Structure 1
Amino acid sequence: MTHKDSGKADAPTVIRGSRSGNSQISGAAVVRGTKIQDVNASRAPTQPTIYALDLSSLPQPRPFGIERRGAYFDIDQSRFELFQNGLRLHLARWPKLGYSTAIRAALDSDDQSGTSVMIPRDAFARLNSEKDIWLGGYWTQDWAFETAPIERFGEDGETVQLPRIKAPGKLRSGFKYFVQNARSELSEPGEYILNSNREAFVIPTNESDQFEVAIATTLLEISNAHDIVIEDVAFEKTLGTTIKIVDSENITIRNCFVGRSGAGAIRVTGGRNVVIDRCVIRDTAETAVLLSGGDRPTLTPAGHAITNSIVTDFGIDSRTYRPAVQVTGVGIRVEGCFLSRGPHSAIILAGNDNLIRGNEISAVVQETDDAGAIYTGRDWTHRGNEIDGNFFHDIGMRMSAHARSPSEPSFVSAIYLDDQESGYRISRNIFWRVGRPIVIHGGRDNLIEENVFVANTHGAIWLHKRGEALGGELERRLRAVPYDRDRWATRYPALATLAENDPGSPVNNKEKDNILLGHGTLVEFRAPEDAQYWAQRDTTTAIGRSRRGWPVTSPEDLQRYLSAQFPGTHSIPVRSKALSDLQFSAH
């Protein structure tokens, strides 16, 4: 859709599906399989029903294949996606769930020509006669996932060589990894292997021989248009990002399902006032929703928003730095949403005057470390952002991939202000069953007020002097904006004097009127010398855990307890509007 398809403010162009929720735009073509007995003559599974899919007659935007994924790959589209019975199927893998840590870096593990690792001999024996085997894992850091194909099996019966890993740092031994696209592991419903760009083998999820293969990259693209409403339609089953909106104004996507994508669900860049409202967004290989816009030099807001929506099962294939919602720019809102079930962050945030309000965020940062449910970092000038009235619970895993025992905790937080991120207002949030609720990793001028911290395992606020003073990347970013003049000087006066006010230290962070329930302290310091940067007297109400424990087993219990104990204050709803008002008609 272009400017020719635009409507008017009082008479927008409307594309509306059936109110029954049956309207669907799909990017997949139907393929029927042929039942076979063997996949591989030497080690074919004998129990499950296996179908061979002939892909040769399908249009292929790029030759079908497997794409390298991970934090350091910018994936615009997948090369192959397979569906059945409304589900996106997955490559056969070992182990079936989770990861193995039985892997070692070889002596010449990482050079300019590639990466070498040593896997168990029994796994090597199963795999060395197969082709197009892939490994995925956290090779160098617990926040940097990456996949790579095996290029060569060594003669020693345990060493495999892969392309050079892009993640920074030294290759480790004992990191979390899995094997995928292995014929020897094809054994359960919903699994497949891609044999070539012309053939796949799959175990069905039911008795049907009918499957769907994605052949469309994008289903809806709106460019340089205005005043358009899309509602009551399901958009699904694509190789690339399902909906793209570029340099457009006054666009609303309402009451839609968007998902089952080999890349992202909705990508908004430029323009103004693009709103995603009351949508269900699920099962995306990469970032689910990107909202980017506004002008930082003039602090002109974009007005983009995602509201009252449900976003789950995101970053499925790239695993890290592929959030439910990525916000980049000025004046963007994430409000009233339910964000859940992701391996890494729910929201990644950059820019100014953005608002994260009234969301429920749970079951994220499920397999990564040194990460936060909301993550932002490395810029003194990201000012004016507010994180207000959200409910964070059940964030993170119990311990990191390399923890020697459960007593060695992981570094997972609800809100992670990393690498001197500054100028945030964090207010009226509830943190329940979170390791570290708020991390201030070297930043300044952050205000933390009227929050409730319940049954968390560490201090409510974690503070550390970390980072650089002048002369580095942060100063370069400071000089790139008019921080000491125009609207910036009025809006963020502390920036004008930052260079003269100990720029490398976490000064002027404040808290007031918070409530701390349970064990732990208000502020936790990484090192004793960090305490000098928290000079204020704490104003938090602290209530210790009773011998009977907390009378709280559900979010609703927590709401009742807080209302009874603190009437008239901290009245933050624990359920997002998206969950409390489930009236979606599309899927």
Structure 2
Amino acid sequence: MVLTTETCLLVFLACYSAWSAPAATTLFVATSGNDANLGTAKKPFATIERARDELRRLKKAGRVAGPVSVEFAGGVYELRRPVEFTAEDSGTAACPVEYRARKGQDVRIVGGKRVNGWKPVTDPATLKRLPAAAHGKVFQADLKALGVTDLQGINSPQSYQSDPGLELFFQDKPMTLARYPNEGYMHLEAALDANGQPKGNIVTTPEGKFVCDDARPGRWVGEQGIWLHGFWVRDWADLRIPLGSVDAATRTLSFPAEQGRTYSVRKGQWFYAENVLPELDSPGEWYLDRETSLLYFWPTASLSFGTVAVSVARDLLQLTDVSHVTFRHLLIEAGRGSAVVIKGGSDVRVVGCTLRNMGNWAVKVYGGTKHGVIGCDVYQIGQGGIHLEGGDRKTLTPAGHSADNNHIHHTARWDPVYQQAIALYGVGNRATHNLIDNVPHIAIGFSHNDMTIEYNE
């Protein structure tokens, strides 16, 4: 064969390109792996933390010269605590880092603990508290025996939002904390002044006393930990408040007296009660006795037909001052707080992921530049979907964060008011080509300067 000058040049360029291209590094993780392994395809690690730490070691040893991939085999990876990434876990524009699912395999990053060891409720005292319709249908499990000791309940209540704490999921869906009524609301028949007398429309007192139009709360005398979720004064402002006391004879309810606090209520407003064991009366409802660590659940189907999990870890993937890292094709679910929280850094991407069953948000971004959430499915979220905040308002320097081509739906299941599918704050952020549906209040919320919102449906 005669080699022409052109042929020789092409061969030289191909060889030069192969010689000069930085070598890629791939670490492997599998549920069947072991963190004592080498992280190879045949001897994978078992956890995302071990892969992160190995990458740190390789970088310090100068053994990373090109792009890095951490590849997860299909399976469920339970997190007992958040995974934290810092600046040392960053890639570069030339050598980015990617955490990804193996092609064609389902990888689930779960912030919850699987619950097993279910038994029928047989304790006479508990059966007496449960409605008769629930006997033989409600099961119990001991969370302490399963190693779940953080039993945080409803917390941080304020107007428009609160935190649910531990939640229960069955067949990949959030279940309902036992409540009354099961649908709809009770109403304030009268707002009472400090002397217990009906007075005007809006009344402000240290105990927020009112007369309920339903006698049902009279059954709850002696129950602990009940919360009332209501629109107490304005039709658009909800607030969760603990139940203080119940007078069954007069149908009078009050809130707990606290030093320096007052409560305002208005006649005709509406509310429901939750975290009430005597109201665990329909499939899908649950209750946690925090004194005994016993979880009670009326499943929507046979327990053999699905997995029960309770949320344990909060803010599952936490990135602080991290740059050039991508999470691709992962399912992140069943945690407290948010699935991904990014603070500072640049060029972090969440791509083609499913983010569901979180207590607060799917993704929250604070500061940094050019972070993006792209092509993700977001649903069954307790509060909002994607929060993008960044940019300098004094200089109008844009952050360049983006939410593009995402499907966001069935959000704000816990806090129904002022929770946005997409929230934009700061300067120069974008919400484009997103499909948004089944959001009870705000699809896209924005404030401040130079936002781009276009081609959303």
TM-score by length of structure 1 reads: 0.57
Give the aligned partner of residue 274 of structure 1: 371
Q: 2:213 aligns with which of 120, 124, 147?
A: 120
CA distance in 2, matches of 1:267, 1:309: 15
CA distance in 1, matches of 2:220, 2:443: 36
DSSP 3-state at the match of 2:155: coil
Cα 1:68/1:45, change in 2 over 3 Å = farther
CA distance in 1, matches of 2:434, 2:103: 22
Cα distance 1:328–1:158, how it changes in 2: closer, same or farther (>3 A)? same
Which residue of 393, 400, 403 maps to 1:306? 403
C-alpha change, 1:251 and 1:167, in structure 2 (3 Å) is farther
- Using the TM superposition, give the Cα deviation of residue 7 of structure 1 relative to its aligned residue in structure 2, in angstroms: 1.6
Residues 199 and 134 from structure 1, CA distance in 2 versus in 1: closer, same or farther, beyond 3 angstroms?
Answer: same
Matched, 1:315 2:412: yes
Q: Please state if 1:66 is matched with 2:161.
A: no
CA contact (8 A) 1:83 1:211 kept: yes
Q: CA deviation at 1:62?
A: 4.4
Pair 16,228 (structure 1): closer, same or farther in 2 beyond 3 Å: same
Aligned equivalents of 1:269 and 1:164: distance in 2? 37
Letter matched to residue 130 of structure 1:
E
Structure 2 residue matching 1:228: 3-state secondary structure: strand
**Is it true that 1:49 corresponds to 2:137 in the alignment?**
yes
**Is the contact between residue 223 and residue 246 of structure 1 (CA under 8 Å) also seen in structure 2?**
yes
Alignment of 1:467-506 (within 5 A): none
Count of aligned positions: 358
Residue number in structure 1 paired with 2:111: 27
2:172 partner letter:
G
Local SS of the residue matching 2:380: strand
Q: Aligned to 1:193, what secondary structure does the other structure show?
A: strand
The question of whether the paired residues in 2 share the 8 Å contact of 1:101 and 1:174 is answered with yes
The higher relative CO (CA closer than 8 Å, separation ≥ 6) is in 2
The counterpart of 1:173, out of the listed 239, 249, 267, is 267
Match of 2:327 among 226, 230, 238: 230
Among 289, 303, 322, the alignment partner of 1:208 is 303
Partner of 1:106: 192
Residue matched to 1:132: 225
Matched-pair contact (CA < 8 Å) for 1:144–1:167: no
Match of residue 180, structure 2, among 74, 94, 104: 94
Residues 393-413 of structure 1: per-residue CA shift (max 9 Å, x gap)? xxxxxxxxxxxxxxxxxxxxx
Structure 1: distance between partners of 2:412 and 2:128: 35
Cα distance change, pair 82–103 in 1 and its aligned pair in 2 (3 A): farther
Which residue does 2:279 correspond to in 1?
Answer: 185
Shift of 1:63: 3.8
CA–CA separation in structure 2 for the residues paired with 1:219 and 1:322: 20
Identify unmatched segments of 5+ residues in structure 1. Answer: 361-587
Displacement after TM superposition at 1:129 (Å): 4.0
- Aligned position for 2:6: none
> For 1:56-455, what aligned pairs fall within 5 Å after superposition?
56-58=144-146, 62-67=150-155, 69-71=157-159, 73=161, 75=162, 78-101=164-187, 103-108=189-194, 111=204, 113-120=206-213, 122-154=215-247, 156-163=249-256, 170-196=264-290, 198-208=293-303, 211-360=308-457
Measured at CA, do residues 293 and 173 of structure 1 come closer, stay the same or move farther in structure 2, by a change above 3 Å?
same
Give the corresponding residue for 1:9.
93
| Structure 2 gap segments, 5+ residues each | 1-84, 197-202
- Closer, same or farther: CA 286–163 of 1 in aligned 2, 3 Å: farther
How far apart are the structure 2 equivalents of 1:164 and 1:84?
A: 37
Check 1:346–1:169 CA distance in 2 against 1; reply closer, same or farther (3 A cut). farther
Larger radius of gyration: 2
How far apart are the structure 2 equivalents of 1:307 and 1:208? 38
Is the contact made by 2:354 and 2:377 (CA closer than 8 Å) also made in structure 1? Answer: yes
Return closer, same or farther for 1:193/1:296 CA change in 2, 3 Å cut-off. Answer: same
Task: Tell me, yes or no, if the aligned pair for 1:92 and 1:193 is still in contact at 8 Å.
Answer: yes
Deviation at 1:160, TM superposition (A): 1.3
Distance 1:111 1:101, change over 3 A: closer
Change (3 A) 1:50 1:111: same
SS of the equivalent of 1:52 reads strand
Per the TM alignment, residue 152 of structure 1 is displaced from its structure 2 partner at its CA by: 1.4
Residues 87-142 of structure 1: CA distance to partner in whole angstroms, max 9, x if unpaired?
A: 11111222222323354322338556332221135213222243322211111111
SS at 1:300 equivalent: coil
Indicate how the Cα distance of structure 1 residues 168 and 112 shifts in structure 2: closer, same or farther if over 3 A, else same.
closer
- Mapped to 1, the partners of 2:93 and 2:372 lie a distance apart of 14
Question: Does the 8 Å contact 2:204/2:265 carry over to 1?
Answer: no
Name the aligned partner's letter for residue 159 of structure 1: T
Q: Please give the alpha-carbon distance, in whole angstroms, between the structure 1 residues aligned to 2:330 and 2:248.
A: 55
1:128–1:30: structure 2 CA closer, same or farther, 3 Å change rule? same
Q: Which amino acid aligns with 2:396?
A: L
By how many angstroms is 1:238 displaced?
Answer: 0.5
Q: Aligned residues: percent identity?
A: 26
* Alpha-carbon contact 2:424-2:445 (below 8 Å) kept: yes
Residue 51 of structure 2 corresponds to none
Cα RMSD over matched residues? 2.6
Contact 1:106–1:159 under 8 Å retained in 2: no
Q: Distance in 1 between matches of 2:241 and 2:112?
A: 26
Are the counterparts in 1 of residues 206 and 262 from structure 2 also a CA contact under 8 Å? Answer: no
Flag the 1:167–1:99 CA change in 2: closer, same or farther, 3 A: farther
Give the Cα–Cα distance (whole angstroms) in 2 for the partners of residues 72 and 324 of structure 1: 15
Query: 1:19: how far off?
Result: 3.2
The alignment's TM-score, normalised by the length of structure 2, stands at 0.73
Opposite residue 187 of structure 2, the aligned amino acid is T
